[in-house]
Amino acid sequence: MSVVQRKAMLKAEGFFPHKKNPVGTTIIYSRKHPSAQFVRVVVDSGIDSKTGKVVGKVGVKLCFVNRQKSWRAITTQMFTTNTGLVKTIKTQEAAEKFVKTCKHCKAKKFTAKSGNVVCANACWSNWSGKKKSENNTKKKSQKIVAGNPPQKKPKKTVAKKSQKKTQKFVAKILPGDLVTVEEFDRDDKKVIGFEGSVLGIVTQTYGEGTVTVNWTANTSSLQEWQLPWTASYTIPENVSATPGNRLHHRLKVLSRKVEWERQ
Ligand SMILES: [Zn+2]
């Protein structure tokens, strides 16, 4: 009864069963979101495809179908019974407008395995691809930052040119730190602090290297790819370039006292 009822409800709601479930044995159903482009309402029926029996609650979530046709879960799956099914579908559909959108390609954002909330299209990887061919940067270093949009790093190219006359700064940033961003000019003088407009929580660190930050708020004019993602940076001593083109951004820890130290 329960199986028949559940299937009938899903059909009445406009859902169609998928042929495959890549992660389990239950029958997956989906249909388009009523208004949002590339968004699908996905239902794990909890009905086993082989036995035809109910093996679990029914789960409902939203997925964004990205440019590579991969489905990215953009809401947390909610589990319900037959009685709550229609209401849960409505709740999930309504949750769509709270899902963040990528400023660059308008795709929905999702929480990647790294814990970072990133563009479902991973559109930043195309920019770095472009950058790669222009600058001939190493592929491996690009891979490490996957899941965190890479920042343009003029300081690196500069560092290569004047390797002996550089200053390195390091900060001991730790997971759980509440962070914002500070902008510095070419003389390493602070220009702007973004307290109040940019806020994030550090989720992972790799020594002096990459810092993964879950950016929870950004009402500044900074693009996501401009937000800093390292616990170290290098400044050239003799900058001969025109003023203004060596602005850089670094993380500032708000939740405890962390100094950037010259090495
Ligand atoms: Zn994007």
In tens, the pLDDT along 99-117 reads 999 999 999 999 998 889 9
Query: For residue 195, is it within any domain?
Result: yes
Any domain includes 142: no
Residue 125 C-alpha to ligand 1 middle, in angstroms? Answer: 9
Beta bridge partners, 60, equal: 43, 78
Domain with 201, as residue range(s), is: 150-262
Is residue 173, in this structure, part of any structural domain at all? yes
**Does the residue 102 lie in any domain?**
no
- Find the 67 Cα to ligand 1 centroid distance in Å: 10
Ligand 1 centre from 38 Cα, in Å? 13
CA–centroid distance, 101 to ligand 1, in Å, is: 8
Short-list 226, 209, 225, 222, CA closest to 119: 225
List pLDDT tens digits, range 212-245: 888 888 888 777 767 888 888 777 544 443 444 4
Q: What are phi and psi of 3, to 5 degrees?
A: -65, -50
Q: How far is the CA of 197 from the centre of ligand 1 (A)?
A: 21
- CA 102 to ligand 1 center in whole angstroms: 5
Q: Is residue 248 situated within a structural domain?
A: yes
Residues 162 and 252 in one domain: yes
* 176 & 254 share domain: yes
Residue 187 lies in a domain: yes
What is the distance in A from the centroid of ligand 1 to the CA of 243?
31
186 and 86 housed in the same domain: no
Residue 118 CA, ligand 1 centroid: distance in Å: 8
Assess if residue 34 is contained within a domain.
Answer: yes
Tens digit of each residue's pLDDT (9 = 90 or more) over 181-221: 998 776 777 888 888 788 888 888 876 778 888 888 888 87
Q: Judge if 163 and 239 occupy the same domain.
A: yes
Protein residues with C-beta less than 5 angstroms from the ion ligand 1 = 102, 104-105, 107, 119, 121, 123
Q: Which of 13, 170, 8 is nearest to 93 (CA)?
A: 13
- Going by pLDDT thresholds of 50, 70 and 90, the confidence category of residue 79 is very high
DSSP state of 242: P
Q: Please state the three-class secondary structure of 152-211 as a single string.
A: CCHHHHHHHHCHHHEEEEECCCCCCCEEEEEEECCCCCEEEECCCCEEEEEEEECCCCEE
Q: Band of the pLDDT at 151, cuts 50, 70, 90? A: low
Same domain, 157 and 255: yes
Residue finishing a domain among 69, 95, 121: 95
Instruction: Please tell me whether residues 156 and 90 are part of one structural domain.
Output: no
Residues 159 and 248 in one domain: yes
| Ligand 1 mean position, distance from CA 129 (Å) | 14
Query: Does 15 map to a domain?
Result: yes
C-alpha–C-alpha distance, residues 65 and 52, integer Å: 28
Average pLDDT, the chain: 81
| Per-residue pLDDT, 135 | 44
Q: What is the number of domains present in the chain? A: 2
Instruction: Find where tokens 């859902």 sit.
Output: 15
**Residue whose tokens read 């909610």:** 78
